[in-house]
Structure 1
Amino acid sequence: MTLNILFVDDEARILSAFRRQMRQMRRQWTVQCAQGGEEALAMMRDHAIDVIISDMRMPGMDGAELLTIVSEIYPRTVRIVLSGHSDREMAARAVKAAHQFLSKPCSFTHLKESIEQALILRDILRNEKLQELVGGTAQLPSLPDLYFQLVEELRQEQPSLERIGRIVARDVSMTARILQLINSPYFGLRYEIRNINHAVNYLGLDTLKSLVLLIHVFESSVKQTRLLQDFCEHSLMVASLARQICLQEEAEPEEADQAFTAGLLHDVGWLVLFHGGFLDVLPCNHDEAKLLLEERKLWGNCHAEVGAYLLCIWGIPADIVRIAAFHHKPSHAERGGISLAAVHAAEILAMDQQEPIDLLYLERLGLSEHLPHWELLYQKLKVKGVRL
């Protein structure tokens, strides 16, 4: 299927260079160019656009304003910022409007990979209403008490990055957004950050204050706080148990960090559905297996695919996206490892084994006989409670 790509920049020479660069993709992509926001919106009224790539600083309507309008009118369109202005204030302003952030100069290979990565799960998430819901998701609800704890800590004369990291790591929404931002090229990292404490320390206080206090990336109040509290507690249990499993299996510390982050984000699809009002039509029970069947009957997809699609278009590291997508059925994943096994097992154990564990996958990794030891880890965590 041909992808329709729209490139927006106020400089004609950059548009011309982009057209030349994209010629090698003419069989897979239809590429259009617009010299400014108004022209881009006019073109989108006449053409269905899969991906819009916009410069940030343009006269008149800038990139953030353009992509905000696009998110409201065309939520299924993937929105990417490509800018030569790599300051953190600009990144903080763009984070609500864009799915991904690329910096100039950007190689054709990197641009192509970013576009393909953003759309790689579109074939999995076939429901157009869910695609619109995910594509239009700029904010996810955060627990009010965690939000206010974070605000209060940031207002201290000497805020503690360690305490901030602990607060953020307890909240799925904040974790997802900060990982999205820190892994964008605005920060010039040559490696992916998958540990939320590393991300908080790298961002520093000024950027965190800008994110939380100035532009309110995180929703500070939601309905059904008790439901959201249960969700975050479950996510934190899965994350903590997944990390403990990896450490017991003598995985590398980076793998254990990845398992923790993936465990925290594994059910982010529930948060998207909750925020979009989709959960109102589901039965009010906690039987995970029945809920999964009901989701697929209603929409043809389940929350795992919804969450993975969101993380994918947000540019979250691919291994974490894969774990979110296949945490219920890891044997369906083309690639995997101990972190996927750990998150899957932790999810099943934390749900009191309401659905069968994927023994086929554990056997593939030679881990099926380790399950009783993981159950003991879970029981210990239940008794003492999860702590960071």
Structure 2
Amino acid sequence: MSAKKAKPAILLVDDEPNVLQGLRRSMRTLRDDWDMSWVEGGAEAIAAIRSHHFDAVVSDMRMPGRDGAAVLEAAAQANPGGYRVILSGFSDRGAIGAVEETAHRYIAKPCSGEDLVAYLRMALALRGGLPTARIRDLIGKAPDVFGMVRPAVRQDECLALAQSASFNLDRPIEDHREAVELLRPLVLRALCHLTALTKGDVTDEAGEERYLRSVVMRALVLGGAARRICLHHGFWPEDVERATAAALLCHVGTAVLRSAGEVRYQASLDMISECGDSVLAAERRVFGATHVDIGVYLSIAWGFPDEITALIAGHHAPRQVPGVDIRPMAAVHLAQFARMPDRPEWHDLNFGEGMPFHGACVEAVPDRDFLEFAGF
């Protein structure tokens, strides 16, 4: 008989007893589903985090002594793959900036228990199916750059990557301030992680190819394609930002798999061409995890919002991610197939103008029904 699966452990933190009591009442029906703990104040929360495992931590921002930023920093160190939410009645940039690299979601107070439960359900679902032990083993054997929550890269290095021909921007960027205005913060964060990968590059087993750089160049093409698709279809700036960042990051897991050995990686490609396996099935057979699994794990560990993580999770199979924003998801999915010169049957898809080619694609065919439903 299989062992009973442990319930997700949730820690909720606020220095106001009335707020905690209200959340406790609204979430009491979940006692059979989640193991919930309630603490008053940051110091008590940090002590709990250091002595117990929590799958999710929800904390108020403004608390005396140790504030929400300190609580989420402790949570990120104790469990990088956990879910972290900040609650605040303040909307000042200082409060948001203090947690932008540790909080997966920032929620303005007052927040209803129903809304919080919906966010938690989606986040735990994204994390629940990951082969975490196998992913950690693969990342542990890869270059150290995959563990960087805050990549040590210079602004000019990040801007140089953004202006590469692969990313295909429509105009040059003069400085970091202009880059923030044009690309927005989440895209720049994604570019910083890609820049870090190029700095940690090594040759493959045959000493012939800088494999991290080759994966980064593909990521830039996908990110540039998603951005142009969004602009062509008139997306809101926030959706352009999310789709572009997700497309940039959706294949970082491929770099981890390639770092496990080019021979094993080639074996997975052979299964696709010779046995008819899908990309994900072949990767799972060879490595025990897919590039999607690893991309989701790294997006969580690096502190990207759940909207980004969900887009990464669905870039191959967009209909399998519940609650995802459909139009950005369609843009990220469509970017995988942008103007393939060897696949003329895809050229009728509505990519927009100025799309670059990008080599042979081993993905499945586009999900046309999903794209049509999204208005593409």
Query: Following the alignment from structure 2 to structure 1, what is the Cα–Cα distance between the partners of residues 212 and 118?
Result: 35
Q: Write the deviation string for residues 274-311 of structure 1: whole angstroms up to 9, x where unpaired.
A: 6xx77532317986835866742465321223324555
Equivalent residue in structure 2 for 1:52, among 57, 76, 91 = 57
Q: Structure 1 residues 288-297 or 30-39, which shifts more?
A: 288-297
What does residue 89 of structure 2 align with? 84
Secondary structure at 1:254's aligned position in 2?
Answer: coil
Tell me if 1:146 matches 2:138.
no
Residue identity opposite 2:8 in structure 1 = L
Secondary structure at 1:54's aligned position in 2?
Answer: strand
Residue identity opposite 1:50 in structure 2 = D
Query: Cα–Cα, structure 1 residues 116 and 315, in superposed 2: closer, same or farther, change >3 Å?
Result: farther
Query: Following the alignment from structure 2 to structure 1, what is the Cα–Cα distance between the partners of residues 224 and 218?
Result: 10
Q: Structure 1 residues 40-49 or 255-264, which shifts more?
A: 255-264
Structure 2: tracts of 5 or more residues without a match: 141-145, 162-173, 203-209, 271-278, 342-356
What does residue 307 of structure 1 align with? 295
What does residue 132 of structure 2 align with? 127
Tell me if 1:343 matches 2:318.
no
Query: Following the alignment from structure 2 to structure 1, what is the Cα–Cα distance between the partners of residues 305 and 286?
Result: 28
What does residue 192 of structure 1 align with? none
Q: Higher helix share goes to which structure?
A: 1
Cα deviation, residue 345, structure 1: 1.2
Residue identity opposite 1:296 in structure 2 = R
Q: Write the deviation string for residues 248-295 of structure 1: whole angstroms up to 9, x where unpaired.
A: xxx732299957853553352544686xx7753231798683586674
The share of aligned pairs that are identical, in percent, is 26
Cα deviation, residue 354, structure 1: 4.5
What does residue 325 of structure 1 align with? 313
Query: Following the alignment from structure 2 to structure 1, what is the Cα–Cα distance between the partners of residues 94 and 46?
Result: 25
Residue identity opposite 1:97 in structure 2 = T
What does residue 206 of structure 1 align with? none
Q: Is the 8 A contact 1:140 1:272 kept in 2?
A: no
Query: Cα–Cα, structure 1 residues 175 and 298, in superposed 2: closer, same or farther, change >3 Å?
Result: same
Equivalent residue in structure 2 for 1:266, among 241, 247, 271 = 247
Q: Is the 8 A contact 1:127 1:300 kept in 2?
A: no
Q: Is the 8 A contact 2:104 2:306 kept in 1?
A: no
What does residue 237 of structure 1 align with? 221
Q: Structure 1 residues 55-64 or 110-119, which shifts more?
A: 55-64
Cα deviation, residue 356, structure 1: 5.3
Query: Following the alignment from structure 2 to structure 1, what is the Cα–Cα distance between the partners of residues 314 and 66?
Result: 40
Q: Is the 8 A contact 2:254 2:291 kept in 1?
A: yes
Query: Cα–Cα, structure 1 residues 98 and 108, in superposed 2: closer, same or farther, change >3 Å?
Result: same
Query: Cα–Cα, structure 1 residues 245 and 283, in superposed 2: closer, same or farther, change >3 Å?
Result: same
Q: Is the 8 A contact 2:86 2:106 kept in 1?
A: yes
Query: Cα–Cα, structure 1 residues 109 and 163, in superposed 2: closer, same or farther, change >3 Å?
Result: same
Query: Following the alignment from structure 2 to structure 1, what is the Cα–Cα distance between the partners of residues 50 and 214?
Result: 42
Q: Write the deviation string for residues 335-374 of structure 1: whole angstroms up to 9, x where unpaired.
A: 8675355223139775522425426x3477689xx9xxxx
Query: Cα–Cα, structure 1 residues 4 and 106, in superposed 2: closer, same or farther, change >3 Å?
Result: same
Tell me if 1:174 matches 2:189.
yes
What does residue 282 of structure 1 align with? 261
Query: Following the alignment from structure 1 to structure 2, what is the Cα–Cα distance between the partners of residues 264 and 258?
Result: 10
Secondary structure at 1:98's aligned position in 2?
Answer: coil
Q: Is the 8 A contact 2:299 2:309 kept in 1?
A: yes
Q: Structure 1 residues 298-307 or 334-343, which shifts more?
A: 334-343
Work out the number of aligned pairs and report it. Answer: 313
Q: Is the 8 A contact 2:158 2:188 kept in 1?
A: no
Query: Following the alignment from structure 1 to structure 2, what is the Cα–Cα distance between the partners of residues 322 and 262?
Result: 10
Equivalent residue in structure 1 for 2:68, among 59, 63, 66 = 63
Q: Is the 8 A contact 1:80 1:99 kept in 2?
A: yes
Give the CA RMSD over aligned residues: 4.7
Q: Write the deviation string for residues 42-79 of structure 1: whole angstroms up to 9, x where unpaired.
A: 43455432211112232332222222122222223312
Query: Following the alignment from structure 2 to structure 1, what is the Cα–Cα distance between the partners of residues 370 and 154?
Result: 39
Q: Is the 8 A contact 1:9 1:36 kept in 2?
A: yes
Structure 1: tracts of 5 or more residues without a match: 151-157, 178-215, 371-388
Q: Is the 8 A contact 1:168 1:175 kept in 2?
A: no
Query: Cα–Cα, structure 1 residues 365 and 234, in superposed 2: closer, same or farther, change >3 Å?
Result: closer
| Alignment TM-score, normalising by the size of structure 2 | 0.63
Secondary structure at 1:61's aligned position in 2?
Answer: coil
Query: Following the alignment from structure 2 to structure 1, what is the Cα–Cα distance between the partners of residues 147 and 305?
Result: 15
Query: Following the alignment from structure 2 to structure 1, what is the Cα–Cα distance between the partners of residues 223 and 198?
Result: 24
